[in-house]
Structure 1
Amino acid sequence: MKTFIQNGASLTVAAPAGGVTSGSGVIVGALFGVAATTAAESEALTIATVGVFALPKLATAVLSAGDRVSWDATNHRCDAPGTGRYPIGVATEAAGNGAGTVKVRLDGVSTVAAS
């Protein structure tokens, strides 16, 4: 197909302000992804936009398998959906009170902070 460029499972973007470390979640414009490498601000950075990843979460957030998961860009962690948080995917396993991570299947679609 003449117009096909790539499948979009990973994209190269400019690292956001402050840079990012490998394995960290990152918002770049309306994209959410997981950094494949560590990159300083404005450096080329490959992010995974689909797949299942273990990401940090607010320890007191209670997420069941199948629950929607949002990204808190201020605190760089997952949380339940809420104002100011970016929808990113669905929990693939329960992650209850006290758990520091949640396994998330990324949606791979553009996102915007909930109002």
Structure 2
Amino acid sequence: MKNYVQNDDNIKVVAPRAVNAGELVLLVSLFGVAVDSAANGADVVIVTEGVFDLTALGTDTGAVGTKVYWDNVNFRVTTTSAGNTFIGVLTKAKANGETTARVRLSDPS
């Protein structure tokens, strides 16, 4: 097919900031986890599907299935929707004090 570009689970984008491998990257409503580290403005491949352990707000708690959002100011997962972008749901319960959340990325639509 002449107009096919690529699979949508790994997408090359321009890094909106310096990112480390394994960090979530948000571009308006497109998000994914960086495969490699990249400087601000450099190309980086992001994985847009799957389950990932991501940096999270330590005081948040949630059961499996709780919706989570990306805080693009502090670069972490939170259960607070106000001012943040929906990215998926918890696949493992998160307790107070834990600074990592296991998240299944969801389609941004």
TM-score by length of 1: 0.87
**Which residue in the other structure is 1:113 paired with?**
none
> Deviating runs (4+, > 3 A) in structure 1?
1-4
* Residue 5 of structure 1 pairs with residue 26 of structure 2: no
Structure 1: stretches of 5+ with no match in the other structure: 111-115
* Residue 48 of structure 1 pairs with residue 43 of structure 2: no
CA contact (8 A) 1:68 1:81 kept: no
What letter is aligned with 1:5?
V
Give the whole-Å Cα distance in 2 for the aligned partners of 1:48 and 1:108.
Answer: 12
Deviation at 1:2, TM superposition (A): 4.7
Give the whole-Å Cα distance in 1 for the aligned partners of 2:72 and 2:62.
Answer: 18
Q: Deviations over 1:37-86 (max 9, x none)?
A: 11011111000111000001100101110111101111111010321111
**Which residue in the other structure is 2:96 paired with?**
97
The aligned runs of 1:31-70 (5 Å cut-off) are 31-70=30-69
* Residue 14 of structure 1 pairs with residue 51 of structure 2: no
Give the whole-Å Cα distance in 2 for the aligned partners of 1:35 and 1:29.
Answer: 16
TM-score by length of 2: 0.92
Higher mean C-alpha displacement, 56-65 vs 2-11: 2-11
